[in-house]
Amino acid sequence: MAGRRIHAVLLAATIATIAPACQAGNTIDWLANTYGALDTHVGNTARSMWVSPEGVVYTSSMWDESEGGVAIYQNGKSLGSIGAHNEFQGGAITGNATSIFAALQPGQTYGSGTVGRYNRTTKARDLLIPVSASNNLPRVDVITGLATAGSLLYASDFYGDRVRIFTTDGAWRRDINVSSPGAIAVDGARNVWVAQKSAGTIVEFSPTGALLNTVRMPAGSRPSALYFDASSRQLMVGDEGPDMNIKRYDISGRPTLAGTFGVQGGYLDTTSGIKGQVGAKRFTRVAGIGKDATGNLYVLNNPWGGAWDLGRDGGTDIHAYNASGDLRWKLQSLNFEGLAVPDPGTDGNLFYGGTNIYSGRAGGTFVANTVDPIAYPSDPRINMDDTSRGEHFGQLTTVGTNRILVATSQDPGTFYFFHFNAANGYIAIPDASIPGPTFNTTRHVKNGFCIDGKGDVWAGLDQTGYITHYPLISFDASGKPTWGAGIPIRIPESIQPLRRIVYLADSDTMILGQGPVDSSSTDWTVLGTRFEVYHGWKAGNTTRPDPVINVTNPGVRSIAAAGNYLFIGYWFDSAQKNLPDIDAFNLATGKLDATLTNTSNGAIDASSAVDSMYGVGAYQRSTGEYVVTKNNVKANSITVYRWTP
């Protein structure tokens, strides 16, 4: 076998010396955003929504890399944005005929307890309204609900245990004491309805603050969004609990449940689809509800996936329905600082991210959200105390009929493992982490990581001087994998300091990436320009690289490999060289055979530099076509290059 493999490598090298370099021929596509161009793309992680009577949709986000944090849409198209990209907290927004009111982030002249008022026509902020004394809490929502009625503005001060009432010009009128207030709605009689999400209740107060009613929702319910529907005199309640739907309460007398909208159980239902599968009425978490004057219903319905800074919190998923409840259009932005990779089990037709699954082209189809917060509340992907900014980068391997997902953050030292099975459909079941007891280590991974095509794990554990190989042993009846004890392999001195590992199990090829050799550099996330290729690594060749790839661009940020190619994505360099492109280096010759470029003439944005350690993925399909994915931060999407050498 070793001789046959060496012969194949030599043959490939001979062919490469006489074949011309391929510098073109790729196509370009995108996933995870309705629109591919930067000026039309859907904004990042809308966390709250208000809809005007004319059907203009305003959403608020904590961080939108390429535009203002309040995005504006109508009829499924972008109308621009308001404010700076990091101006808003994202958790609460409302409006009236002339103004938008939104909770702000901590800043120089305002804080997390402040509401900003913005002119809907000029988009300029014209007023600051202090609401809460908790004005310096950047990672949580202090103002958890906003609503307007006539000349009054209502704001939930979560940590103050009160709803505060102001005029829309900022003059305080009164407070209503209520514990842990959340979303707010005001009905036609000016009664105030306040959600208490963790308690599963909604309380009603008179205009003067007298308690009128308490609605106790079904066990496990978490009321996350409220809207008063004047046409039916019903209160619409988004439920993030196990029902994952919208409940309608008749409030003409004592509140009673009048009906629901959406599939019972939402995306976790197994009677109308596969568990985890999203759809027109298979909601994940309902974060906003609104209607326009013609009766169209709008639902902000975001996938699960948490992060400490709230700016990567699942994604934007807006559905618009007509008065009959039929879906009219969708706007989706399901990726920001994250990546999805082709699934070998479907020959690259599905793409798995850290929390979502996609398919198709030209924006793709949002197939499933792989997080189940009901069955697995300790899933690390929804741990808001995790300081690694959310696990939205996916790595995937398929071994027989078994899939293993590894989810990581932007610059990870910890890697989380999940498996799938038929009973749980698309839901990724949490298994283990490295560091962690499954891999018998407390050391972070700072010298490279790879899960290979056979399920083996390769990890460069911090300050050991070794690559540790954990062989996959078996899967149990539920599909959970087991790995054997770690086998240490000394890191070759020629590649120190080691920063990346890619192992191709089918060809027994190891690719090692070096970090900066400048001894003053302490950034373990950065790559240098030297990459060593070892053919026959498991067969014993761990000291003689051939070829050695020396990259001329010093901005290397992320790598992936498949078939006979190493694919390199770049961060900025002084000349902006190769910034939006992916270089393909031949693993047999070490030569640059192709540069994958944007062939769309501006119709698709691919301008983002790679701003993550594992922001590039690669797979070779059975047809010989290479599918390469790249995280696109600017356009909140995933760029897909398709190339056949």
Look at residue 6 and tell me whether its pLDDT is greater than 50. no
Question: What digits encode the pLDDT tens for the residues 449-498?
Answer: 999 999 999 999 999 999 999 999 999 999 999 999 999 999 999 999 99
CB 27: neighbour CB atoms within 10 A?
14
Token duo for residue 69 = 């944090």
Nearest to 239 by CA among 256, 260, 255: 260
Q: What is the pLDDT of residue 154?
A: 99
Note the pLDDT of residue 10: 31
Which position has the token pair 């046959």? Answer: 4
Q: Would the pLDDT of 14 be above 50?
A: no
**Token output for 212:** 């009128």
List, in order of start, the domains of the chain with CATH numbers. Answer: 107-112+120-333 (2.130.10.10)
How much is the pLDDT for 580? Answer: 64
Three-state SS letters, 456-474: CEEEEECCCCEEEEECEEE
pLDDT value at residue 260: 98
Q: Are strands 582-586 and 565-570 parallel, antiparallel or unpaired?
A: antiparallel
Position with higher pLDDT, 574 vs 279: 279
Name the band, by pLDDT with cuts 50, 70 and 90, for residue 306: confident
The Cα–Cα gap between 220 and 245 comes to 13
Average pLDDT over residues 355-362: 98
Helices (H) and strands (E) in the chain, counts: 1, 50
Distance (Å, whole) CA 577 – CA 5? 36
pLDDT value at residue 408: 97
Contact 335, 392 (CB under 8 A): yes
What mean pLDDT do residues 592-607 have?
92
- Give, in order, the Cα–Cα distances in Å from 554 to each of 551, 587, 627: 7, 20, 25
**In the predicted structure, residue 344 carries a pLDDT above the cut 80:** yes
Amino acid 246: pLDDT: 98
Q: What number is the average pLDDT over the span 336-351? A: 97
The token duo for 630 is 């790249």
- The amino acid sitting at 415 is F
pLDDT tier for residue 553 given thresholds of 50, 70 and 90: confident
pLDDT at 21 over 50: no
Could you tell me the CA-to-CA distances from 215 to 289, 320, 564 in Å, in that order?
19, 27, 62
Three-class secondary structure assignment of 373-395 = CCCCCCCHHHCCCCCCCCCCEEE
Q: Are 142 and 134 in contact (CB under 8 A)?
A: yes
Q: Residue 126 pLDDT > 60, yes or no?
A: yes
Average pLDDT (378-394) is 91
pLDDT at 573: 59
pLDDT at position 259: 98
- The model's confidence at residue 575, banded by pLDDT at 50, 70 and 90, is low
Q: Answer yes or no: is pLDDT of 212 > 70.
A: yes
533, pLDDT greater than 90: yes
What value does the mean pLDDT of the chain take? Answer: 93
Q: How far apart are CA 65 and CA 48, in angstroms?
A: 18
Of 540, 609, 470, nearest to 65 by C-alpha is 609
Rg (CA), the chain: 26
- Integer Cα distance of 276 and 279 in angstroms: 10
